[in-house]
Amino acid sequence: MLPAVLRTTAARLTAMFMVLFALCAGVLVFYMSTLSVSMLTAQTQETIAEEMQSLARAYQRGSLPALVRFVETRSRQPGANLYLLADVNGRILSGNVDSIEPGVLEADGWTPRPFAYRRYGDRGSAVSPPPVEGAEIQATGHQAVALVLRLPNQMILLVGRDLGEPQIVRDIVNRSLILAFGMMGIGAAVIWFFVGRRALRRIDTVSEASRRIMGGDLTGRLPVNGSGDEFDRLSENLNVMLARIARLNDGLKQVSDNIAHDLKTPLTRLRNRAEVALAGDLEEKDYREALEATISESDQLIRTFNAILMISRLEAGYSSEQTVPVDLARTVADVVELYEPVAEELGVLIEASVQGDATITANRELVAQALSNIVDNAIKYSAGSGEAPRVLVSLRRSDDGVAVEVADNGPGIPEDDHDRATERFVRLERSRSQPGSGLGLSLAKAVMEFHRGRLELSGRNPGLSVKMIFREDSRINEQR
């Protein structure tokens, strides 16, 4: 296992960049050395060609003796080029070249490739014997390029230049490579030290904070140092997530309390009824009645549980797979039609008012369920209050979306209680006597949040207005 400092992203990134830079440097050095070699060669060739021209001119002016003199003078200068004058058979007559690789003198023009040679005065193992072409020439390791010219009298003139030892070029390349790599290594180490250490420190503080949170302290938050860097952004997002988790957790806690409290009553009632029925000496009819009451009480419990389940599923989040185009006008008409007989029975007038139609992307069942819960409440609470209880369900387009409003002229809800009214199991004082689970509005609210819309309660005088507001972008544009 690598030590922690090497297992960091910073270390990996540094290593990766090092390799990359090394490759770049290698390519660069190689390119530059090739370029300078070819420039050097071009320069050499130019010098040689000039030399050859002046030699050729000397030959034209004073024939062979002049040429020989010229060659001898040039040959003796220090650091001179290579000069060689040979006869038709390749025997060296004059110049500063002692021996030469065979075959070089056979063709006119530039030698096709660098060749090996030995200069006079290079005291090697085989020196004194007259020009003998052979293996020992190679020993000196000198390489040259040359221009060969066949003179009109069939003699051969060669002007060349030593290429120097190739080792020198290689040395330069190696030195620059070592320098480049060394600097890169130092740079990488510095970068790794600062970036890696800093990142590690930040991550350690985050890890420390998250360990505390995992330990059960849900109020803990990750540190944000205000620099706005990626760690800050990550911490901010995680903090938002933590806040949501904490909120859900609180909700859960509150719901379990409420469930325990609100379900205890019907369950106790259920149990007592069964107990009384068992204890008494009843007729079959009474048993039957007790059982039927038990069943209807259980049905109410099941209903409550289903509503709870549904709310938590809705809170789990929105998914577009569950939505279809929904004609809200149709839904309003359906729900009003569904509730009309109930309303009539309770002496409430229910009406629908649809201005234009609006088709939105939504879950049809959920929207109908939410609307029917709201209408149900409106009918229940306005019944028996005032002169002419009335519930109006209207569909309207507004600037920021589509609103379905259910307005009644019942007693309404005090302004202060509007928020609480949509909380789970909250049944405001006046509604304690009414049947119902206390989940109707919470479910409607959950449905609206599932659709990324909102549920708005507002007071009327008298009465209450509940608006389901769908966002503009959930509307499907249609040609009208």
Partner 1 sequence: MKILLIEDDREAAEYLQKALSEAGHNAHVAHDGDTGYQLALEGSYDVLVVDRMLPQRDGLSVISGLRARDIKTPVLILSALGEVDDRVTGLRAGGDDYLTKPYAFTELLARVEVLERRGSPREVETVYRVGDLELDRLSHTVKRAGNEIPLQPREFRLLEYLMRHAGQVVTRTMLLENVWDYHFDPQTNVIDVHVSRLRSKIEKGYETPVLHTVRGAGYMLKAG
Q: What is the DSSP letter of 429?
A: G
Interaction of residue 252 with partner 1, rule CB under 8 A = no
Distances from the Cα of 369 to the Cαs of 3, 277, 306, 442, in angstroms?
59, 37, 13, 12
* Helix ranges (DSSP H) in 280-363: 284-315, 328-345
Q: Footprint of partner 1 on residues 220-249 (CB under 8 A)?
A: none
Q: Compute the distance between CA of residue 219 and CA of residue 288 in angstroms, rounded to an integer.
A: 54
> What's the closest the beta carbon of residue 345 comes to partner 1, in angstroms?
6
Structural tokens at position 272: 């007592």
Q: Which residues contact 39 (CB under 8 A, 6 or more apart)?
A: none
Closer residue to partner 1, CB minimum distance, 97 or 393: 393
Closer residue to partner 1, CB minimum distance, 212 or 364: 364
Instruction: Candidates 53-61, 85-93, 214-222, 361-369: pick the segment binding partner 1 (CB under 8 A).
Output: 361-369
How many angstroms separate the most distant Cα atoms in the chain?
A: 156
Instruction: Candidates 206-214, 226-234, 256-264, 372-380: pick the segment binding partner 1 (CB under 8 A).
Output: 372-380
The strand pairing partners of 326, in sequence order, are 360
Q: Footprint of partner 1 on residues 417-456 (CB under 8 A)?
A: 435-437, 440
Interaction of residue 329 with partner 1, rule CB under 8 A = no
Distances from the Cα of 217 to the Cαs of 167, 254, 255, 472, in angstroms?
70, 18, 20, 40
Find out whether 448 and 469 touch, Cβ atoms under 8 Å: yes
> What's the closest the beta carbon of residue 469 comes to partner 1, in angstroms?
20
Q: Footprint of partner 1 on residues 378-417 (CB under 8 A)?
A: 380
What are the percentages of helix, strand and coil residues in the chain, rounded to 5? Answer: 55, 15, 25
Interaction of residue 133 with partner 1, rule CB under 8 A = no
Instruction: Candidates 77-85, 338-346, 381-389, 404-412: pick the segment binding partner 1 (CB under 8 A).
Output: 338-346
Find out whether 19 and 188 touch, Cβ atoms under 8 Å: no
Instruction: Candidates 37-45, 148-156, 171-179, 365-373: pick the segment binding partner 1 (CB under 8 A).
Output: 365-373
Interaction of residue 269 with partner 1, rule CB under 8 A = no
| Residue among 68, 368, 403, 464 that touches partner 1 (CB under 8 A) | 368
Q: Footprint of partner 1 on residues 285-314 (CB under 8 A)?
A: 292, 295-296, 298-299, 302-303, 305-307, 309-310, 312-314
Q: Which residues contact 221 (CB under 8 A, 6 or more apart)?
A: 209, 239, 242
Closer residue to partner 1, CB minimum distance, 236 or 334: 334
Binding site for partner 1 (CB under 8 A): 292, 295-296, 298-299, 302-303, 305-307, 309-310, 312-314, 319, 321-322, 334, 337-339, 341-342, 345, 363, 365-366, 368-369, 372-373, 376, 380, 435-437, 440
